[in-house]
Structure 1
């Protein structure tokens, strides 16, 4: 593949990125810069807009699944959802390596693109694992609702976890960082992008339960044995703002 001085911009979707992959490999060139809605505002140069071709994107998706090792395809997919500046350019290089070598991408950590993606994927999956334990739900009518502020795009991983854990429930999880609403209805998952957080008022029952829980904690806590450093290690401060037991 040849390096080009091109700057491309796309809509930030996964099928949009598959459209980028299709054009890049058809033209046998890697653009210098690939911009998404999050990064385009920082760019001072004009970029060519690459319109998402849904049919072509799905075709490339299927072709990559067929040609890549399952571990490498998962690596590419995880890398796309991780938060990493310039990830699209790194992912193009990762796809080229995976197609040429047929080897595990994680065996190529000496390559800067693979190393950067691997580090970001670890933090993505680590954050998702933490959230499976730290997400708190409140009943709003017959719906379990939670609001979170993740650093990474974890909803495609988090929603299946709770869909399996609560197969008979109606669940809504709002990712305020990425303006993404996950709706789970008895195991069926739908993600709505670029949406605002639903407005709910606290029910009296939830307020009573929250107050009873705090009363219980105060009763069993021995202040002299409190170890706040250990508490922060097990429950980082950044998760507490979304946890019902820390709300007033």
Structure 2
């Protein structure tokens, strides 16, 4: 049984790095006070243990998910890790210590204090990914098809299949401004890139600008002023997405 250790794990922020932290925790039979990625500069009075990313250890942990805990747990942990909650790592680690004792039934114990927070992390990620399948606005810039998003969570991996199926044979780029990450699809191949700085995007092409103007005119023409309900509109389309939407960015 794991004991509560007065130590903070630090890792590189990657999923492999987190799995290496899981391996370290089970190896030492301890649950750290916190797990912080390198990009977080939160102060702590506890000693810090740097956990290096070990691909072999990470692979052993990931393989054990499906073998010992089932496909549902594997998918749950993988998606919940995409959440940007500052305490997601410790929440997931506590769940895994519980899950290895329960087996494949663990994720179905929805009311348990170790399970419910992880389900909430997954729900938030899935919900944002679903919203963005409708809110992403592609533009022609410099002769290329691209879109800019500012999601709260790292949902790019969940958008890939949707947009690849929606635009088969089309090359496109989705720039996640929040996480400085890019999903680039070219010649049927998808690739994720991390950028150190924001890219210098060219302005919309001339034809693209005309189509955007027509789209905004169409959107405004459909509006019925007498039935305007700003609160309802924000509940269906949260205001934090408007900056990346052609028809709404001017209303911020």
TM-score higher than 0.5 here? yes
Aligned pairs (5 A) from 1:11-50: 11-39=12-40, 41-45=41-45, 46-50=47-51
Quick check: 1:167–1:186 contact (8 Å CA) kept in 2?
no
Quick check: 1:71–1:104 contact (8 Å CA) kept in 2?
no
Where does the alignment leave 5 or more consecutive residues of structure 1 unmatched?
none
Aligned residue for 1:204? 206
Aligned residue for 2:101? 100
Report the TM-score, using the length of structure 1 for normalisation: 0.90
Distance 1:29 1:225 in 2: 58
**CA deviation profile, 1:24-61 (whole Å, cap 9, x unmatched):** 1122222222111343x112345121111123322332
Aligned residue for 2:154? 153
**CA deviation profile, 1:82-102 (whole Å, cap 9, x unmatched):** 122322122122122222111
Quick check: 1:144–1:172 contact (8 Å CA) kept in 2?
yes
RMSD: 2.0
Distance 2:106 2:143 in 1: 45
Distance 1:38 1:106 in 2: 30
- Judge which range, 156-165 or 127-136, deviates more: 156-165
Aligned residue for 2:240? 238
Quick check: 2:219–2:247 contact (8 Å CA) kept in 1?
no
Q: 1:146, CA displacement in angstroms?
A: 0.8
Distance 1:106 1:62 in 2: 17
- Paired residue secondary structure (1:168): coil
Report the TM-score, using the length of structure 2 for normalisation: 0.89
